Amino acid sequence: MSSNNNPINIGIVGVGKIVRDQHLPALAKDQNYRLIAAASRHGKVHGIPNFPTIEAMLDAVAELEAVSLCMPPQFRYDAARTAIEAKKHVFLEKPPGATVSEVEDLKVLAAKNGVSLFASWHSRYAPAVEAARGFLASTRLRSAAIVWKEDVRRWHPNQDWIWAPGGFGVFDPGINALSIATHILPAMFITSAVLDFPENRAAPVAAQVTFRTSNGLPVTMDLDWLQTGPQSWDILADTDAGKMVLSGGGSKLAIDGRVVHEEPEAEYPMLYKHFAEIVRAGTSDVDLAPLQHVADAFMLGKRNVVEAFFD
């Protein structure tokens, strides 16, 4: 447990697009941290020591207190285990791992070693999510629908890992929707799913999923990774108090067409703020509900082969 407010010496592992777009800017502005090292097979961070592996970084930089793991999920377990056994606090980029069971093991390992583990569901920190949660708690839900459609060619150019086994495919963005839905909606369970697999890929490019809540209400989810034109990141709910639309990935809330909450996005600064809080409190925050829903979709889903997809 950290007992003071000195900056946390942190290293970052996996220097790719998400690190450059989100992690580095967030860390640069956060006085809770001092970024002192990076490890990546290809990318480098200017101005600090860079290493080819997390093992090399941990061996060379003894003053590291925490690591932020941003490599593809298929490789995250081994890196997290290495860091935890070295007594470092661990920030897991989403999704926190390739399987539910390996993240469960990391939870146990973190507790055993007295370090904090954080599954960073960034979309939960979108500015209108808490307002939506409060609205739904104040009324009776009738039904809900998740519509998450974007263009993989725009957001993940030339990233082959997302199409490999364990790479999630369309559930890579879809898990963002599930991270919000599991935070604002009642407990829900998948009843059916259809997953569209391109002939030349090992992960789905689209999915249609049906849920029921614990009290029997219907929830649908429509995921598409070949959306052209405007992108859609919406959660809609029909309630006794009107029709709710949480749009823009959680950035804007409207009730019956009237905008009631809208703010600029600040997800990653909020993530790192929370990580510092749990490190100093000596606790962990690892909610596996979004990842469990993805696992359930693959387990229950009907595989539908569609036309080959090329980047």
Active site residues: 94
Between CA 224 and CA 174 the distance in angstroms is: 9
Answer whether 175's CB lies under 8 Å from 291's CB: yes
**In DSSP terms, which residues pair with 218 in a beta bridge?**
212
CA distance 45 to 40: 9
Q: Check whether the bond before 173 is cis (ω within 30° of 0).
A: no
Integer Cα distance of 66 and 56 in angstroms: 15
Residue 255, amino acid: I
The one-letter code for the residue type at 4 is N
SS3 percent helix, strand, coil of the chain, rounded to 5, is 35, 30, 35
In the three-class reduction of DSSP (H, G, I as helix; E, B as strand; rest coil), residue 203 is classed as coil
Sorted by sequence, the CB contacts under 8 Å of residue 257 that are 6+ apart come out as: 243
Q: How far is CA 257 from CA 4, 230, 245, 254, in A?
A: 47, 19, 8, 6
DSSP secondary structure letters along 98-167? SSHHHHHHHHHHHHHHT--EEE--GGGGSTTHHHHHHHHHTS-EEEEEEEEE-BHHHHSTT-GGGGSTTS
**CA within 13 Å, CB half, 283:** 7
Q: Which of 12, 64, 18, 66 is nearest to 40 (CA)?
A: 12
